[in-house]
Structure 1
Amino acid sequence: MSILEDARAVVENGPVCDACLGRQFADRSFGLTNAERGKALRVSVELADDDPHEPVETEECWVCEGLSATFDEWARRAADGVAGVEFGTYQVGTRAPPLVEENERLLRESAGLEEEGGEPFKAEFNREVGKRVGRLTDTEVDFERPDVLFVLDVEDESVDVQVNPAFVYGRYRKLSREIPQTEWPCRECNGTGRRGGDDCIHCDGTGYMYEESVEQLVSPPILEAMDGDDSSFHGAGREDIDAKMLGTGRPFVVEVKHPKKRFPDVEALEEEINETADGKVEVEGLRLATYDMVERVKELDASKTYQARVQFDEPIDDETLQDALAELDGATIEQNTPERVSHRRAAKTRVREAYAVSGELEDETHATVEIHGEGGLYIKELVSSDEGRTEPSLAGLVGVPCHVTELDVLAVEGEDEAFEDPDFFIESDDEK
């Protein structure tokens, strides 16, 4: 049948509004709204039949039951639902009333149209309300990862507004040997600060094994600036509590849940964090980032360069040290799970490369060693052997027990290449 004959069959199925008429042919003509398409088809049928009809008011339509006239109303309700929320992109989803979907199926069946065809009611509702939301809020639609998702439940007459997280990327330097990277709740009281009705003696009632961390110094100013409900800290690996993170720093992302402000001044935020951290932590290169940056940070398997101060239990000479370092330089290292982390990591043997190892003897029992190793190489165990769990090791090669007294991370290699893709960042107002 021709489109004109099909349109006649639809028109003859009772009062059908222009939008519902046009929607049945959305896959067969383009460039018009469904209401415009339906009106044109209705006129064509009347001209062909020389039989003018009274126009059908949307409120009288038995298919959508007047809902095709409510796009503006739903758009205003959606916009009102994000009053005070800063965002740049959005998406609209619709839960259509089952009765309307059933009416649409009956219409196509009665008109002799193929079951699959046209455009579903909820698809038009998404688009038409979505266009109006964009105009009202001066934002753009994003079907992948919008800042805000509006779910319109037409039957319940409700609008559910879901504000997706916002992300701030940067690099931190940890200048203290007394703070961990992330919050460390007390295991004895499960972070409550109380045990047996009294203050927990293990954490002095604080709920934390360490009262400060990189996360606790960096995240709160970001959370406050973005006016969110909560935050999560994601680092590209982590250093030991007693190790400093120096050089260009370690990449991280702070994820802010339900932010009301999505585009803070990151330069001012960087200054605030560095001032309040009081020399314990420094951040640099703060930028607004996308959701994908979290996975990129967490999955980064970069190599790292360390500087370790080593103490030997017995005197050694420089020749012995240099011979041992030469053996480790470029060596393949086998490491069983270290004793110090065995309570939280499964026992297994890891094979890692020591790309470059060098150092100098300071006196008979002290040396400074620099190690550039593959991601995941345990440096303290590379020095001490961890009772034979690491082979080869510095202790094993010099034949004298030794251990790391101070450890600094000088560089996380490869992060510039991993994070240079502009698609992973969002322009802030001062960059536009």
Structure 2
Amino acid sequence: MDVLSAARRVIDEGPVCDACLGRQFADRSFGLSNSDRGHSLRVAVALEDDADFEEPNEECWVCEGLTDDFEVYAEQVADALSDIDFETYQVGTRTPPLIEENEVLLRDLADLPEDTGELFKSEYNREVGKRVGALTDTEVDFERPDVLALLNLERGDVDVQINPAFVFGRYRKLERDIPQTEWPCRECGGSGKQLAEGGGEEPCDYCGGDGYLYSKSVEELTTPPVLDAMDGDEALFHGAGREDVDALMLGTGRPFVIEVKKPRRRTPDTDALEAEINEFADDRAEVEGLRLATHEMVERVKELDASKTYRAQVEFDAPVSEDDLANVVEELQGATIEQFTPNRVDHRRANLTRVREVYDIDGHLEDETHGEVEIHGAGGLYIKELVSGDEGRTEPSLAGLLGVGAEVTALDVIAVEGENELFDDDEYLRE
């Protein structure tokens, strides 16, 4: 393509601003704005034609003057974000249909190749974007910015989208009968109400009118201080698996991420926030190692293939000797366990046989009918069923090998360890 001849054809199609002229040839030179490129082409065409150089004195029929408003929109964006804490941004543009039609018409009238130049919205994104960066002293991020400003040129305004922020840590649950996340009542669906015999509504008998099966959860004990510190609209709790409601989570704690929707503050003091959460939880739960994290950490936590170590208090139906327990423990050391979906969860789990490993196991008796076992097993190993046998649904089991009924009376998780995962990887954490 002869660039000067093509530029001449564009100029001849009526009043076209420098930006719209230069945009048609954006892929033919670099280091210039489209406006500077268009001006240079206009000068070059005038010199080649031995004509007087003239700036267009009418509004551009292609963009209808919108390329004069880069600064205006940048200031609108900066103003819309003035109360938002952010470090990275991206700008998007919703182009009016008429401008898109004009752009196509110009290229058709000037007989320009389809694969040259730049889209109008690409120029707008870039030109407004670099001005936003200068006004706010922040950096553009095309992958996952803290905020996205969408320019609506048809309406003449700006929509701001605030992307979520994330806090990573580990929690310990220090009180039994607390679920990890809110647990709505399955009878009333969380409404706390049921139909009364004579019509109307009355408090749900199953949950007592609370709408929840448990009054508190780890989520409710940890998210409010984070939501308040980050001034967001909503907080979501993501855990690396979950322990039974009646089990404690002790030792090294369980990895979690709290996701805050539409945060107006993204960089709270995590040490102070950790202290606030622990005070708020009032000894029912506690957190440690609180760090700001990236979006990728959510999937990293949710998909963690973690092994776990449990400590279980066990009650036997008949007397057991230390030698018998020791022999069974030795037999379960390193054993492969087949577990058909346990009776207690078959209403919410698919019926299938899971194969899991016991990595390590130790145990001792406290008296003839009570003992304690510590088990390090693969993720997904059902510990209560490994002890009881679950009516033959778990093979082998402690009860089955002993030939004596056994039941877990108290269960503690004392370690959750990522297999080949490092949660202190800076790629997934923010300073």
TM-score (normalised: structure 1): 0.96
Letter in 1 for 2:68: A
Which residue of 355, 358, 373 corresponds with 1:354? 358
| Superposition map of 1:15-414 within 5 A | 15-57=15-57, 60-196=59-195, 197-414=201-418
Conserved? CA contact 1:304–1:375, under 8 Å: yes
Which of 198-207 and 212-221 deviates more?
198-207
Q: State the distance in 2 between where 1:414 and 1:194 align.
A: 42
Q: In the alignment, what sits opposite 1:12?
A: 12
User: What runs of 5+ residues in structure 1 fail to find an aligned partner?
Assistant: 428-432
Conserved? CA contact 1:182–1:233, under 8 Å: yes
Aligned residues: 426
Conserved? CA contact 2:165–2:261, under 8 Å: yes
Q: Secondary structure at the match of 2:272?
A: helix
Conserved? CA contact 2:307–2:419, under 8 Å: no
Conserved? CA contact 2:387–2:399, under 8 Å: yes
Q: State the distance in 2 between where 1:123 and 1:406 align.
A: 62
Q: Secondary structure at the match of 1:221?
A: helix
Give the superposition deviation at 1:37: 0.7
Letter in 1 for 2:307: S
% identical aligned pairs: 66
Which of 398-407 and 100-109 deviates more?
100-109
Give the superposition deviation at 1:34: 0.4
Q: Secondary structure at the match of 1:215?
A: helix
Conserved? CA contact 1:166–1:257, under 8 Å: yes
Give the superposition deviation at 1:416: 8.4
Q: State the distance in 1 between where 2:283 and 2:128 align.
A: 51
Q: Secondary structure at the match of 2:268?
A: coil
Q: Secondary structure at the match of 1:282?
A: strand
1:184-234 per-position Cα deviation (integer Å, ceiling 9, x unaligned): 112222222222322223222222211111100000110111111111110
1:298-348 per-position Cα deviation (integer Å, ceiling 9, x unaligned): 000111111111110100111111111111100000000001111111111
Conserved? CA contact 2:311–2:373, under 8 Å: yes
Conserved? CA contact 2:194–2:202, under 8 Å: yes
1:117-165 per-position Cα deviation (integer Å, ceiling 9, x unaligned): 1001010011111111112222211111111111112123232211111
Q: State the distance in 2 between where 1:245 and 1:7 align.
A: 71
Give the superposition deviation at 1:415: 6.8
TM-score (normalised: structure 2): 0.96
Q: Secondary structure at the match of 2:45?
A: helix
User: What runs of 5+ residues in structure 2 fail to find an aligned partner?
Assistant: 196-200
Conserved? CA contact 1:246–1:409, under 8 Å: yes
2:427 is equivalent to residue 423 of structure 1: yes
Letter in 2 for 1:258: K
Letter in 1 for 2:45: V
Which of 219-228 and 130-139 deviates more?
130-139
Q: In the alignment, what sits opposite 2:198?
A: none
Q: CA RMSD in A?
A: 1.3
Conserved? CA contact 1:60–1:66, under 8 Å: yes
Letter in 2 for 1:378: Y
Which of 34-43 and 5-14 deviates more?
5-14
Give the superposition deviation at 1:11: 1.6
Q: Secondary structure at the match of 2:259?
A: strand
Conserved? CA contact 2:225–2:280, under 8 Å: no
Conserved? CA contact 1:173–1:246, under 8 Å: yes
Conserved? CA contact 1:105–1:115, under 8 Å: no
Give the superposition deviation at 1:3: 1.8
Conserved? CA contact 1:357–1:369, under 8 Å: yes
| Cα 1:415–1:163 shift into 2, 3 Å | farther
Q: Secondary structure at the match of 1:27?
A: helix
